[in-house]
Structure 1
């Protein structure tokens, strides 16, 4: 799962059309609906329940927005390069956010938390069902009794029908990318090869200094899941499956849902991390 190395440096630039503010607003709505209040509105004895963990936090954009709303935030990611950018944002904003370099399949906390979120298809990087289950068991272990896990995942339909075997390219002033998708219907795994060209200033082979483009490539693998599979894994991990929501419409899930939000609730502590 070692990804987002060189790509981390241009991630925010290439993802600048991602509706983080819209996502944050909806997540805040869900957190409030399921009883996870920010400290400024929480009872004094419920401070622990106001902590929210952003699992797979990346460069921390969403983490910052939830911190702005008053939540005590912990961000977890397994890419040091992505976390370096998140730390730079924290230094600029002055937010009291704890960032941890950890793999979601093995993450550890010092106590329980009111809610854990995992969005922007981070769960799709788990390519085996047992890895999903392992992560869910850890989530259940670290949630406050009755705490909620809100996560999203890209569906098989999205990979197979919408983006499978497609090539996406974009040319900008300072960076360009080519994104090539290859979907394998037998395994349900989508491979995408990302090639990025970034404008930089270096000493070249000529006598004159000038601007050149640096090229780098990364290969990412994600697996599509069906809602039935995710529901079964949530329940197998000992959590309560509460609700599934179409991420685009915020309504009922249907056969052409491309991304789905799932709300799961902590349901007892039986997991021991060996």
Structure 2
């Protein structure tokens, strides 16, 4: 996630995302890469493996599934607690499953200002992460940074929460979730004028002495339209591709996304190769 408020949600985050199905998301990413990536030659990872950058990696569920599939991983998140969970999960996975797996690199950075030492072959930014950048200039800067660090022909795969998700599914509603050691009370407000959804949460976590510790959490997400995404992509020098039609490629079979399209809109942007110009659908 790109929101520092997720720091306090870290201990309970995987419970809240227990329906995530990382394998389905990894399948989707790999299918998109196989169809649309034009990257040539060996990857920038160790021994020529594909180097994947996961922006807003959270507790690393999708990153680590991609690691299992042979990718080298860099995960970036602003919340230290999320990264601690990701590192612990990676250590357990390497100890229990395969000690030969490369160690992922998890970095605590703001995804709208991240810095790397070199380029990467594939970038993902999933689970509404960009919506947490409620200032459009920060979102635009993220696209420019992705274009800067992405190898020619490589893909940026991302999703954005739909207007329906923010205004109706979350809307002006209250949620109450109880787990064995955590209880979450969630009050949501959506403002049509700003198109910002604000969530005020109270998380109670049971301690070893049986008492509960309270954390107050505030999270905001902003709706961004497809037109805005096209503008950011064009300004960054990225070519936006429609995963359903395959434009500008001839792709007759749609790749189904891993989550309902009514709740999230999925995008692919590609960094053009040196001899490839930009093309866009009409707005």
Identify if the C-alpha distance between structure 1 residues 91 and 22 changes in structure 2 by more than 3 Å, giving closer, same or farther.
same
Query: Which residue, out of 17, 20, 23, partners 2:19?
Result: 17
SS of the equivalent of 1:133 reads: helix
Q: What is the rounded CA distance, in whole Å, between the counterparts of 1:165 and 1:184 in structure 2?
A: 9
Change in Cα spacing, 1:250 to 1:192, as seen in structure 2 (3 Å) is: farther
Distance 1:9 1:36 in 2: 39
Partners of 2:112 and 2:272 lie apart in 1 by 19
Aligned with 2:193: secondary structure?
coil
In the alignment, the residues of structure 2 paired with residue 164 and residue 245 of structure 1 have an alpha-carbon distance, to the nearest angstrom, of 28
In structure 2, C-alpha distance between the alignment counterparts of 1:47 and 1:268, rounded to whole Å: 15
What is the DSSP-based 3-state SS (H/G/I as helix, E as strand, rest coil) of the residue aligned with 1:104? Answer: coil
In structure 2, the partner of 1:93 is 93
Q: Distance in 1 between matches of 2:266 and 2:255?
A: 9
Alignment of 1:5 onto 2:12: no
Bigger strand fraction: 1
Q: Is the 8 A contact 1:183 1:190 kept in 2?
A: yes
What are the within-5 Å matches in structure 2 for residues 84-233 of structure 1? 84-94=84-94, 95=101, 96-202=103-209, 211-233=210-232
Unaligned regions of 5+ residues in structure 2, if any?
Answer: 95-100, 246-253, 275-283
* TM-score relative to the length of structure 1: 0.84
Change (3 A) 1:136 1:176: same
| Residue range with higher mean Cα deviation, 145-154 or 88-97 | 88-97
CA RMSD for the aligned pairs?
A: 2.3
Counterpart of 1:59 in structure 2 is: 59
Instruction: Determine the C-alpha separation between the residues in 2 that align with 1:77 and 1:245.
Output: 29
Report how far residue 133 of structure 1 moved.
Answer: 1.1
TM-aligned CA deviation for residue 245 of structure 1:
5.5
Q: Which residue of 1 aligns with 2:249?
A: none
TM-score (norm 2): 0.82
TM-fit CA distance, 1:34: 2.4
Aligned pairs, number: 250
What SS does the corresponding residue of 2:227 show, helix, strand or coil? Answer: helix
Q: Is the 8 A contact 2:159 2:265 kept in 1?
A: yes
Which residue in 2 is equivalent to 1:40?
none
- Residues 120/10 of structure 1: CA separation in 2 closer, same or farther (3 Å cut): same
Deviations 1:70-94 (A, max 9, x none): 0111111111111011111121122
| d(CA) in 2 for partners of 1:250, 1:159 | 25
What is the CA-CA distance between 1:219 and the residue it aligns to? 0.3
Q: CA deviation at 1:258?
A: 2.1
The answer to whether the 8 Å contact 2:200/2:219 transfers is yes
Secondary structure of the residue that 1:135 maps to in structure 2? helix
Write out the 4+ residue segments of structure 1 that deviate beyond 6 Å after TM superposition.
none
